Amino acid sequence: MATNYLPDSIKCNFDFLITEIREDIIQRFNELIDSLQRRQCQFMQELEDISDNYKRKEIEKESMLRELEGVQKYLEENVTSSVMINLQQDVKSKIEESLKTIQIQLDSFKVSFVWDFDVVQQVKCIGSLQGQGEHEAKTKVMKKSYRQKFTPYMSVGSFSGTSGVAIEKNTLNIYVVESLWNNIHVFNDHGDFLFKFGNVAMFFGKLSHPKGISIYEDRLFISQRNSHIISVHKLDGTFIELFGAQGANEGHFMHPNKLTIDETNGNIYICDQGNNRIQLYSSDLEFKSVLWQHLLKSPLDIKLTNNSIFVLDDRSPCLHEFNYDYSLIRSTIRVGYLQQVVSPICFCIDPEGNIYITDNRMGCVYVFSNNGDDIIHQFGKFENVHGICINKDGGIVVTSSTKEGSLQVY
């Protein structure tokens, strides 16, 4: 529509109205994409779980039938005909009942495991008759390990705006950053709340939008996004000192995010997100160097392994791997709608090298193979999922604003 002949005041209002309509359409379109992407993610998760459930139940069915054949042979050799028939019918009915339970689960599109413990006990007895008890026990352990890995066995806490999380290796206490209310919550490894600190402290000990937390020996290192500093505390929360200042010069920060510490020498790697770089400090809190300023766009998190340094960015590709001479090895994992992740926030790496990335927009955790090319699993239905780390037992510790618990361990 032409607007050249309209008065300037009307033309201005008209242009403003067109802009508002355009922005509203874009916003609604983005919301629709978010909704569809989340539904797709949940649907794929359900399909994967159903497929895994079905395969394992089929294996269980075949195992039961093989064991039943062995029992029939045993009974034919050792038990009278009338007793044998009764036992056979009883075992068959139990197996049929179990298989019906499996089919009902599949038909109703449910992914939760429902075990018939009577049948499991019966199978255990049958396996013992045939000398297969050891094999049957191994099968059960495999199933339990698989489900425990991605099913929360601990869910505690109720707080908002969570961010980083760290575990003290001696006490196994879990330190959870609550950015919204400027607190650090501390739990023991059983999920019992111990204490919190940060919001009620005085002067320098008071936190201002804490984001990352890392533990080295008997000290806590906490990045504070709003005050652009790193504060150092004792394990009980007592303030010790701080370093850094707002700015773009070396040793200054602009909205620092996560940080990590090299256990071998105490070097501190800090995601200086606002300045698009990593800054390196010594264990004595002396500035050492600026890293990868021309490569990174908005670094969110950083982790160290024996051989490599990994940095999570919020631009595609989002995961960069470096040598300890700071040379780039590779960049991987695509970011964006219909890509591998939508909104990466935090990550961790397990002993096998698998990479776990929290996706705040999709409300889940993606598990990538150690080369970062393939998604091998995803789990969780979170609200504002954020921090993630791994405990000494291999449990995946996740922080979020999920109503069932802000701290969950898988």
Question: Is 23 strand, coil or helix?
Answer: helix
Paired tokens of 46: 């359900």
Q: Give the pLDDT of residue 405.
A: 63
Task: Specify which residues 290 forms β-bridges with.
Answer: 279
Task: Specify which residues 346 forms β-bridges with.
Answer: 358
Q: Cβ of 369: how many Cβ atoms within 10 Å? A: 14
Give Cβ neighbours of residue 121 (< 8 Å, ≥ 6 apart).
none
The predicted model gives 193-197 an average pLDDT of 92
The mean-pLDDT minimum among 43-47, 251-255, 347-351 falls in 43-47
| pLDDT tens sequence across 353-375 | 999 999 998 899 999 988 878 88
Q: Give the pLDDT of residue 205.
A: 73
Residue listed under structure tokens 């201005």: 12
CA angle 254, 255, 257 (to 5 degrees): 125
The predicted model gives 45-69 an average pLDDT of 68
| pLDDT tens sequence across 380-407 | 888 889 999 999 888 899 998 766 568 8
Question: Is 95 strand, coil or helix?
Answer: helix
| pLDDT tens sequence across 82-125 | 555 565 566 666 666 665 655 554 444 333 333 333 333 333 33
The predicted model gives 1-6 an average pLDDT of 52
Backbone angles phi and psi of 304, in degrees to 5: -115, 140
More confident residue, 25 or 20: 25
Mean pLDDT of the chain: 78
Backbone angles phi and psi of 160, in degrees to 5: -115, 155
| pLDDT tens sequence across 34-43 | 667 676 666 6
Nearest to 187 by CA among 159, 222, 209, 206: 159
Q: On the CB side of 209, how many CA atoms lie within 13 Å of its CA? A: 8
Residue 221 has pLDDT above 60, yes or no: yes
Beta-sheet strands, E only, within 107-161: 154-156
Q: How far is Cα 368 from Cα 136, in angstroms, rounded to an integer?
A: 31
User: What is the band of 220 on the pLDDT scale with cuts at 50, 70, 90?
Assistant: very high
Give Cβ neighbours of residue 304 (< 8 Å, ≥ 6 apart).
260, 262, 269, 310
Contacts for 131-140 with beta carbons within 8 Å, 24 or more apart? Answer: 132/67, 132/70, 136/63, 136/67, 139/59, 139/60, 139/63
| pLDDT tens sequence across 123-171 | 333 333 333 333 333 323 323 333 345 666 677 777 778 899 999 999 9
Q: Is 246 exposed, middle or buried (0-12, 13-18, 19+ CB in 10 A)?
A: middle
Exposure letters 318-355 (e unless 16+ CB within 10 A, then b): bbbbbeeeeeeeebbbebeeeebbbebbbbbbeeeebb
More confident residue, 329 or 317: 329
Residues above pLDDT 70, as percent of the chain: 64
Q: Give the pLDDT of residue 113.
A: 32
Q: How far is Cα 278 from Cα 284, in angstroms, rounded to an integer?
A: 18
Q: Cβ of 221: how many Cβ atoms within 10 Å? A: 22
Q: Give the pLDDT of residue 320.
A: 95
Task: Specify which residues 197 forms β-bridges with.
Answer: 184
Nearest to 165 by CA among 211, 227, 228, 230: 211
Helix (H), strand (E) at residue 257: strand 256-261
Paired tokens of 89: 């019918």
Query: What CA–CA distances, in Å, run from 9 to 4, 6, 14, 18, 64?
Result: 12, 8, 9, 14, 82
Q: Hey, what domains does the chain have and what are their CATH numbers?
A: 42-149 (no CATH), 154-409 (2.120.10.30)
Residue 281 has pLDDT above 80, yes or no: yes
The predicted model gives 278-287 an average pLDDT of 96
Q: How far is Cα 390 from Cα 398, in angstroms, rounded to an integer?
A: 9
Q: Give the pLDDT of residue 136.
A: 34
Residue 32 has pLDDT above 90, yes or no: no
Q: How far is Cα 80 from Cα 87, in angstroms, rounded to an integer?
A: 11
Give Cβ neighbours of residue 389 (< 8 Å, ≥ 6 apart).
165, 166, 167, 348, 397
- The model's pTM is 0.65
Residue 1 has pLDDT above 60, yes or no: no
| Residues counted in the chain | 410
Nearest to 219 by CA among 229, 202, 232, 205: 232
Residue 304 has pLDDT above 70, yes or no: yes
Q: Give the pLDDT of residue 367.
A: 92
User: What is the band of 12 on the pLDDT scale with cuts at 50, 70, 90?
Assistant: low
Q: Give the pLDDT of residue 407.
A: 85
